[in-house]
Amino acid sequence: MNPKFYITTPIYYPSGKWHLGTCYTTVVCDALARFKRMQGYDVFYLTGTDEHGQKIEKAALSQGVDVKEYVDKQVDSLKKIWDLLGISYDKFIRTTDDYHEKAVRKIFKILYDKGDIYKSEYEGWYCTPCESFWTKTQLVDGKCPDCGREVELTKESSYFFRLSKYQDRLIDLIENNPEFLQPKSRRKEMINNFLKVGLQDLAVSRTSFKWGVKVPFDEEHIIYVWIDALTNYITALGYMGDDDSLFKKFWPADVHMMGKEIIRFHSIIWPALLMALDIPLPKKVYGHGWLLFGNDKISKSKGNIIDPVILSNRYKVDSVRYYLLREIPFGQDGAFTNYAFLSRINADLCNSLGNLLSRSTAMVNQYFDGILPQPSIEEDIDKELKDMANALYEKVVDLNDNLLIPEALSEIWNLINRANKYIDETTPWILARDKQNYGRLGAVLYNLIECLRIAGTLLLPYLPQTGSRILQDIGIGEVKTFEGNTKFGLLKGGERIIKSQPLFPRINIDKELVEMDKIAEQELAKENGINGAQKEEPEKEVKPVIQYEDFAKLDLRVGEVTACEKIKRSQKLLKLTVKMGEEQRTIVSGIASSYACEDLVGKQVIVVANLAPIKFCGVESQGMILCGEDESGNIVIIKPESLLPSGSLVR
Ligand code: MSP
């Protein structure tokens, strides 16, 4: 039986704000998964989306769309990016998948029945954008330690997970099992900043929003996002589902890969949950660094193109994969700049690799009509090249297994560069001047093509399109395994070698930088709707034709705003008191960016009076007021053309 390898990325928020940095985890995991598959492992590579929570609910609502519709659309577009980048995941889990929701409910109930989850009251400092509660000691200058924004002292009834109970076992796990949390620097951080400070029990339910999995025995409460999200790694394998054979086969995970900002959840909360469930722990949790644009993680304002789709379409997918895998020291932060990106393409992909392929295949075509000669006359100089090629696989495996991906690629390039030097040393074009040297010339070209075969094979996991192109051009079909394919001397001679077209076009860096600046500017302008550029037209939504009976279900009424206050925990929301005849309602409206309270009191509005109540930031909204948006994106309230009786029907 083949050994198994289970690797996961975090599940992604369906925010639509994906950039090159967001692709880092998936590209790295893809390379590792492909590598293991070629080593003969039975691989399960999991990725997916983290779709519940207040932020998503609000994002959908602010666009006036149904939340499920909103996340479906986002997931489609994320999957398209993964397809473009060649991400070979075996399963894509969505936390809105029915089987996941069912399993999460069961897990919550098991933990509750065991006494590891209990109900109490929570008082803490809440950061609305991050949906996180913090203790006072965790705040930085009184603000959210993750995003630096204002936090609010909040009290609510909540279910708690007994995280504190697992403190000693967690310290023991991290201190005495160095493989578990990597790189090393993250271990210190977790021990000193969290575990030794003392773990608090964790609030694991919310009542402030509806978009999530309900606590099975108390439906007012929504299971908070980390329990819902983290358990994806086991529910995807069928844990607590109808068929748990994948769970039996693949759990525990071999690697949970993620960016460093979420390592705390994966190295403290996740193992504690697994301990509570009596499930073996993952073998490794790895927190990689960030891809930085300028000084931060996602800035679009630095003139860099950071859209993976634009970069992949303009410079080829493998240029993007190569940059991410080669340029960022694994485990540390690394920068993206247009210049460094273009330089890598020119130096490594176009010059070193591209030239080796085009020169070697061109010479086989020019001197041997495209048929690979058999190796014959050997000289001492060949030995170093052959030894290097023969030793490459073991070196790359070792580096790859230790997650030294840039080093593994660098090792492959050592062979590529050595082969280029070998061309200069053996000067095949001079050998070709005399027919008597054709034996030696054939051997030189054979050696070069063998190096390309080995390099191309080892490149397959990292740069799948480039690896296959090389192998195709040198007359080899699909290569699916390393076994039997990484040692020198496999080709027999007689293979048809195609005269290769350039693998990557050579870039005029100065000119291209100017082009990239223009593209980045256009992108930024599109996003901001400035500099005369058109803000991207939102796709026109074609709604189905409805019958009058459907329209008649709406209870639209004229109301008058009698009071208004800002909701402290939100930048966007206002709490309105609206009078409709004798009746008075509280309505929460996301119009604070365009209206101040004093503009609203006394105004007539149109109210959707029979909309199901929903809570925003803990305030129940009993209806909605109708608004439109002007060309600059300002919200405009819809009101009667002249005053109408309060509470009267709108038809
Ligand atoms: N939904 C949570 C994860 C829950 S897992 C149980 C989440 N999602 S995310 O969409 O914000 O992030 C997904 C991955 O993208 C994370 O690994 C994150 O670190 C990574 N990256 C996002 N921006 C990044 C960079 N600029 N650089 C490298 N990776 C970064 O967190």
Question: Which domains are seen in the chain, by residue range?
Answer: 338-507 (1.10.730.10), 548-637 (2.40.50.140)
Instruction: Name the amino acid, one letter, at 480.
Output: K
Residue 12 CB less than 6 A away from ligand 1: yes
Q: What is the pLDDT of residues 40-85, one digit of tens each?
A: 999 999 999 999 998 899 889 888 899 999 999 999 999 999 999 9
42 and 5 Cβ atoms separated by less than 8 Å: yes
Ligand 1 atom closest to residue 10's alpha carbon, by position in its atom list = 5
How sure is the predictor about 258, in pLDDT bands with cuts at 50, 70 and 90? very high
Q: What are phi and psi of 187, to 5 degrees?
A: -65, -50
For residue 403, the CA-to-ligand 1 centroid distance in Å is: 19
Element at 490 (helix H, strand E): none
The Cβ of residue 530 has, within 10 Å, a number of other Cβ atoms equal to 10
- 587 and 622 in contact (C-beta within 8 Å)? yes
Determine the Cα–Cα distance for residues 307 and 172; give it in Å rounded to an integer.
42
Integer Cα distance of 449 and 507 in angstroms: 26
Q: Is 78 in the pocket of ligand 1 (CB under 6 A)?
A: no
Q: Say how far apart CA 235 and CA 228 lie, in whole Å.
A: 10
Distance 10 CA to ligand 1 centre (A): 7
- The alpha carbon of 194 and the centre of ligand 1 are apart by a number of angstroms equal to 21
226 CA to centre of ligand 1 in angstroms? 14
More confident residue, 444 or 628: 444
Q: Are 200 and 135 in contact (CB under 8 A)?
A: yes
Does residue 391 contact residue 383 with C-beta atoms inside 8 Å?
no
Least confident span in 81-90, 126-135, 472-481? 126-135
Centroid of ligand 1 to alpha carbon of 54 (angstroms): 18
Helix axis angle, 270-277 to 98-114, nearest 10°: 70
* Residue located nearest, by CA, to atom 21 of ligand 1: 22
Q: What is the amino acid identity at position 201?
A: D
3-state class of 208 per DSSP? coil
Residue 182, token pair as written in the block? 């990597």
- Residue for token pair 């210190």: 188
Reference 362, options 506, 503, 497; nearest CA is 497
| Residue bearing tokens 């980048």 | 85
For residue 621, how far is its CA from the centre of ligand 1 (angstroms)? 32
Residue 542 has pLDDT above 60, yes or no: no
Q: Which of 81, 76, 57 is nearest to 539 (CA)?
A: 76
Ligand 1: centre distance to CA 257 (Å): 10
Indicate if ligand 1 lies below 6 Å from the C-beta of 226. Answer: no
Q: What is the position in ligand 1's atom list of the atom closest to the CA of 230?
A: 6
DSSP 268: I
Instruction: Identify residue 277 by its one-letter amino acid code.
Output: L
Q: pLDDT tens-digit profile of 101-110?
A: 999 999 999 9
**Tens digit of each residue's pLDDT (9 = 90 or more) over 138-194:** 898 899 887 888 998 988 899 999 999 999 999 999 999 999 999 998 898 898 888
Confidence of residue 111 (pLDDT cuts 50, 70, 90): very high
Residue 270 Cα: closest atom of ligand 1: 6
pLDDT digits (tens, 9 = 90+) for 352-365: 999 999 999 999 99
CA of 602 to the centre of ligand 1 (A): 46
Spacing, Cα 287 to ligand 1 middle (Å): 10
Kindly report which listed range (73-77, 213-217, 564-568) carries the lowest average pLDDT score: 564-568
Distance CA 37, CA 5 (A): 9
CB 24 within 8 A of CB 297: no
Closest CA to 88 of 40, 143, 29: 29
215 lines ligand 1 (CB under 6 A): no
- Look at the alpha carbons of 421, 425, 426, 430 in this order and tell me if their dihedral is positive or negative: positive
Helices 308-315 + 67-84 axis angle, to 10: 30
Atom of ligand 1 nearest to the CA of 261: 19
What atom of ligand 1 comes closest to residue 260's alpha carbon?
19
Q: How confident is the model at residue 429 (pLDDT cuts 50, 70, 90)?
A: very high
- Are the beta carbons of 559 and 646 closer than 8 angstroms? yes
Q: What is the pLDDT of residue 16?
A: 84
User: 306 in ligand 1 pocket by Cβ < 6 Å?
Assistant: no
Residue 617 pLDDT > 60, yes or no? yes
Structure token digits, residue 314: 């303009």
Q: Is the CB of 635 inside a 6 Å radius of any atom of ligand 1?
A: no
Q: Is residue 24 in contact with ligand 1, taking CB distance under 6 Å?
A: yes
Whether the CB of 50 sits within 6 Å of ligand 1: yes
Which residue stretches of 337-437 are H helix?
A: 338-344, 355-368, 380-401, 405-426, 428-431
In whole angstroms, give the CA distance from residue 324 to residue 46. 20
Of 505, 604, 624, 621, residue with least CA distance to 560? 604
Task: Residue 35: name the closest of 98, 91, 95, 88 by CA.
Answer: 88
Mean pLDDT of 428-438: 96
Q: 20 CA distance to ligand 1 centroid (A)?
A: 11
Residue of 19, 22, 75, 95 to mutate, ligand 1, most atoms within 8 A of C-beta: 22
Going from the Cα of 145 to the center of ligand 1, the distance in angstroms, rounded, reads 17
Cβ-Cβ contacts under 8 Å for 358 (sequence gap 6 or more): 499, 500, 501, 502, 503
What phi-psi label fits residue 606: left (phi over 0), alpha (psi between -120 and 50 degrees) or beta? beta
Residue 283 has pLDDT above 50, yes or no: yes
Neighbouring CB atoms inside 10 A of 296's CB total 11
Q: Which H or E run contains 614?
A: strand 614-616
Neighbours of 75 (CB within 10 A): 18
Ligand 1 contacts CB of residue 291 (under 6 A): yes
SS3 610: coil
Residue 306 · residue 291 · CB < 8 Å: no
pLDDT over 70 (residue 537): no
Query: Which amino acid residue places its CA nearest to atom 18 of ligand 1?
Result: 259
d(CA 301, ligand 1 centre) in Å: 20
In the reported structure, the alpha carbon of residue 146 is separated from the centroid of ligand 1 by a whole-number distance in angstroms of: 13
Q: Is 290 in the pocket of ligand 1 (CB under 6 A)?
A: yes
Question: How far, in Å, CA of 401 to CA of 635, rounded?
Answer: 54
Cβ atoms within 10 Å of 392's Cβ, excluding its own: 23
d(CA 466, CA 481): 16
* Distance of alpha carbon 529 from alpha carbon 532, whole angstroms: 7
Distance from residue 124's CA to the centre of ligand 1 (Å): 25
308 pocket-lining for ligand 1 (C-beta < 6 Å): no
293 touches ligand 1 (CB under 6 Å): no
Q: What percent of the chain has pLDDT over 70?
A: 94
Q: Which residues pair with 44 in a beta bridge?
A: 6
> Of all atoms in ligand 1, which is nearest to the CA of residue 226?
6
Q: Which of 7, 19, 23, 24 is the pocket-test mutation for ligand 1 (most atoms within 8 Å of CB)?
A: 24
Name the token pair of 558: 């004229």
